[in-house]
Structure 1
Amino acid sequence: MNWYTSIFELIDMRSFSNLWFWIALAVFWSTTSHWVLGVPFDMVQRARRHGGQAEADLADIARVNVNRLLFIARISGLWILGFACFVLTMLALLGFWYGVEFAQALFLLAFPMSLVGLLSLSTAQQIETEESQGEQLCRRLTRHRLKVQLIGTASIFVTALWGMYQNLNVGVL
């Protein structure tokens, strides 16, 4: 037996039975729910509590990130949408039609994140249209964070169910 075989027997390289995949999934969603439209959520909480300069800082960073996101969407949004649909379709076909577990894992990470991206665009458009400031901006960002957390919770639940199914199915074969 060579060293390559020994390592792969010691460390299971399949996605859903690998501890690193689950750690990455948790960090992925934790980070996504903390950074709301590129704004750290602690800034939203600080602006709500203290107002004044903290509120002005929140408005500035939110304005910069909203303008940046909408600029990218307006300039190259259709290209990004087409490429994202291509990648998601490729991962879905490789993963669920051809049975490639790594592609399944990537799809279960990327598809919910694409929903978060669409939600972010929608929220950014609403903030720009309303010219949100102060408490209205805080409420909008908090509502966006709650929706992201709901998507993340559903994503983790579905991924866990699929991962358990895959691990049990491999054990049977």
Structure 2
Amino acid sequence: MDWQTIVFEVIDMRSFSNLWFWIALAVMWSSASHWVMGVPFDMVTRARRQGGQAEADLADMVRINCNRLLYIAGVSGLILIAAISFILTMLGVLGFAYKVEFAQAVFLLAFPMAIVFGLSIRTARRIGAQQMQPEGLAKLLTRHRIVIQAIGMVSIFVTALWGMFQNLSHGLLVN
């Protein structure tokens, strides 16, 4: 046996049985629920508790990130929608019609994040249109975070079920 065979027997390179995939999934959803629209959520809780300068900082940070998101959506929104749709469709077809496991794994990571990105743009438009006060911003960002966490829980659940199915079916085919 050569060293490559030994490495590939010890470390399974399939997506759903690879520990790095599950670590990446956990880090991705942890980051998505902590950085709500580019604002760290501890800043939201600090603004709610302390008020004053912490609320002003939150309002400034939200304004900057909302303007950034709205600029990106305004300038290249149509191109982004077309490119993301093409990539997600390509991954979906490769993954689920042609049974490419890597494409399935990337699709299960990317599709929910595309939904979160769309919700973030919608929330940014809402904030920009209403010119909210800091206490209203904190409530809205908290609700947005809860929605992101719900999407993350459903995504992790579906990915875990699909990953277990893939691992069990692969194990049955090998043995």
**TM-aligned CA deviation for residue 2 of structure 1:** 1.6
1:59 maps to 2:41: no
Measure, in 2, the Cα distance between the counterparts of 1:24 and 1:118. 21
Structure 2 residue matching 1:99: 3-state secondary structure: coil
Query: What is residue 120 of structure 1 aligned with on the other side?
Result: 120
Name the residue aligned to 2:89: 89
Q: Under a length normalisation based on structure 2, what TM-score does the superposition of the two structures give?
A: 0.98
Query: Which ranges of 4 or more aligned residues in structure 1 deviate by more than 2 Å?
Result: none
For 2:164 and 2:10, the matched residues in 1 are separated by 20
| Residues matched between the structures, number | 173
> What are the within-5 Å matches in structure 2 for residues 2-81 of structure 1?
2-81=2-81
Q: How far apart, in 2, do the equivalents of 1:12 and 1:122 lie?
A: 40
- CA distance in structure 2 between the partners assigned to 1:139 and 1:76 by the alignment: 29
Q: Which amino acid aligns with 1:24?
A: A
1:23 offset after TM fit, Å?
A: 1.0
Counterpart Cα distance in 2 of 1:129 and 1:78? 21
Equivalent in the alignment of 1:141: 141
Supply the AA of the counterpart residue of 1:75: V
- In the superposition, the TM-score normalised over structure 1's length comes to 0.99
Point out where structure 2 has 5 or more consecutive residues left out of the alignment. none
Give me the CA root mean square deviation.
0.5
Percent identical residues: 66
CA deviation string 1:20-72 (max 9, x = no partner):
11111111100010000000000000000000000000000100000000001
By how many angstroms is 1:89 displaced? 0.4
Residue ranges of structure 1 left out of the alignment (5+ in a row)? none
* Aligned equivalent of 1:169: 169
